[in-house]
Amino acid sequence: MNLEVWREDAIVLFEWLQALDFDALPVTHKAERQALTDLLSLLEQSMVPPTHEELAFARHEGSKDMDWG
């Protein structure tokens, strides 16, 4: 399966996943935690860690037309 993600979304997801405490996630099955861990691993393999400026831009672009925070 191939999954395409907007670059800004990938940056935001990458930063969020890196900050998560995977042991504290409210999961109903251990496969859910594993899926998030696998996603983080794929992002780590495919991107250079973003700078603070790139993260700020990605957050702005990803949320500029949204009214839910």
**Residue 33 located in a structural domain:** yes
Provide the pLDDT for residue 25.
Answer: 87
Q: Output the six-digit token pair for 48.
A: 């250079």
Q: Is residue 44 part of a domain?
A: yes
Question: Where in the sequence is the domain holding 33, given as residue range(s)?
Answer: 26-64
pLDDT in tens, the chain (69 residues): 888 999 999 999 999 999 999 889 899 999 999 999 999 999 999 999 999 999 999 999 988 877 765
Q: Of how many residues is the chain composed?
A: 69
Total structural domains within the chain: 1
56 within some domain: yes
Residue 47 lies in a domain: yes
Q: Is the dihedral of CA 48, 52, 54, 60 positive or negative?
A: positive
